[in-house]
Amino acid sequence: MRERVFSHLIARERSPASKGLRACGTLFGPEHVGRPMPLREWLRASQAILFEASIVPACVGTAAAVGAGARFDPTRFALILISLVGIQWGANLFKGFYEGQDRTTAVAAPGSWFAFDSGAAVGLTKDPRTVLRAGYLGFGIGVAAGLLLVILTANVLLLAFGLAGAFLAWSYSSPPLKLSYRGIGEISTILAFGPIMTVGATVAFGDAGLNRSFFASVVLGFLAAAISFVRYFPNREEDISKGKRTPVTILGIGRARRVFFGLFLAALLVGIVSTRLGGVLWFVVLAVFALIVFQTFPKQAERPEQYHRAIVLTIATHVFVGLALIAYFAFGL
């Protein structure tokens, strides 16, 4: 039964109407943009806009180590980036494949670069499993880079960080666990994109700066969870139809909105109660972006695309807070 449904969805994704719908929903918006290039579609299906969620923790964790006296090693840093982005690339393609397989209704956010488009990966190739193979390739590259880093550093603790991160990335949308379907995806996001990535990057350079790296990782973990959380809002009806239990489908829009704001407040609270992290700039940046998100978040969105601004602002919050944390570790700001 699932195979017949999936075949029907593939045919629908390749129909002229579906292609036109995706073209109208691209990042730039106008209908006359034309059909996107294949590479562009692969980047969109792999949710490349979210790779910053791996790059920022890698940079912050490295800055914490170097700022505490560790010697910067470009080879180690490159391997960290390749490992984290490769694993995320693979996990994102897994998500696109499996959620496209589960979908039985219209795509909630066709053509979007910001909200999750469950149809993005379906029509990339004649054989949809090629997308799954590409996910294995990306995941494999990431794992290989991580193992090479462990060999170079001879650090068993780094291996533990890597195994934990790979497990959470694999389990987020892939069977058998599919954590994002069980309402606990954000817990894995906080851990994977917070302490595991950030502190793991610090550990790759030795044991200097671990305390500050840990508190910074908690901030980044909450903000990464906020990115994941806000992307559930435009997909609520689609997620309900495929039995995906997200915080938005479980709590409803109103209560989920308050929990989403709570993730920002939790990140701010880290700065208030932590004396080990320190710094002023990152806290100010976070407070300003949080205020903007609170003020602009739609109370009653009639269309999924009305959430795009909130998604963009949440991603921007993560990026700029990360840059401010790097500035603190490097210059004491």
What confidence tens digit (pLDDT) does each residue in 199-215 have? 999 999 998 999 999 99
The residue with greater pLDDT, 280 or 21, is 280
Asked whether residue 26 is assigned to any structural domain, the reply reads: no
Residues 330 and 64: their CA atoms lie apart, in Å, by: 8
Asked whether residue 57 is assigned to any structural domain, the reply reads: yes
Q: Rounded to two decimals, what is the model's pTM?
A: 0.86
Mean pLDDT, the chain, as a whole number?
Answer: 87
Q: What are phi and psi of 245, to 5 degrees?
A: -95, 95
Domain housing 175: 2-11+36-331
Q: What confidence score (pLDDT) does residue 29 get?
A: 36
Asked whether residue 319 is assigned to any structural domain, the reply reads: yes
Q: What confidence score (pLDDT) does residue 235 get?
A: 93
Q: What confidence score (pLDDT) does residue 261 get?
A: 97
Per-residue model confidence as pLDDT tens digits over 4-22: 444 444 444 444 444 433 3
Q: Is 50 exceeded by the pLDDT of residue 24?
A: no
Per-residue model confidence as pLDDT tens digits over 283-318: 999 999 999 999 999 988 888 889 999 999 999 999
For tokens 């998500």, the residue is 95
Q: What are phi and psi of 116, to 5 degrees?
A: -80, 120
The residue with greater pLDDT, 295 or 38, is 295
Asked whether residue 233 is assigned to any structural domain, the reply reads: yes
The CATH number of the domain holding residue 312 is 1.10.600
Are 69 and 21 within 8 A, CB to CB? no
Rg (alpha carbons) of the chain, rounded to whole number: 20
Asked whether residue 288 is assigned to any structural domain, the reply reads: yes
Q: Is 80 exceeded by the pLDDT of residue 332?
A: yes
Asked whether residue 31 is assigned to any structural domain, the reply reads: no
Q: What confidence score (pLDDT) does residue 202 get?
A: 97
The residue with greater pLDDT, 216 or 37, is 216
Q: Is 80 exceeded by the pLDDT of residue 35?
A: no
Q: How confident is the model at residue 277 (pLDDT cuts 50, 70, 90)?
A: confident
Q: What confidence score (pLDDT) does residue 273 get?
A: 83
Asked whether residue 19 is assigned to any structural domain, the reply reads: no
Q: What is the mean pLDDT of residues 161-178?
A: 92
Q: What is the mean pLDDT of residues 205-227?
A: 95
Q: What confidence score (pLDDT) does residue 275 get?
A: 65
Asked whether residue 16 is assigned to any structural domain, the reply reads: no
> Burial code of 104-126, b = ≥16 C-beta within 10 A, e = fewer?
eeebbbbbbbbbbbbbbbbbbee
Are 31 and 19 within 8 A, CB to CB? no
Q: How confident is the model at residue 276 (pLDDT cuts 50, 70, 90)?
A: low
Into how many domains does the chain fold?
1
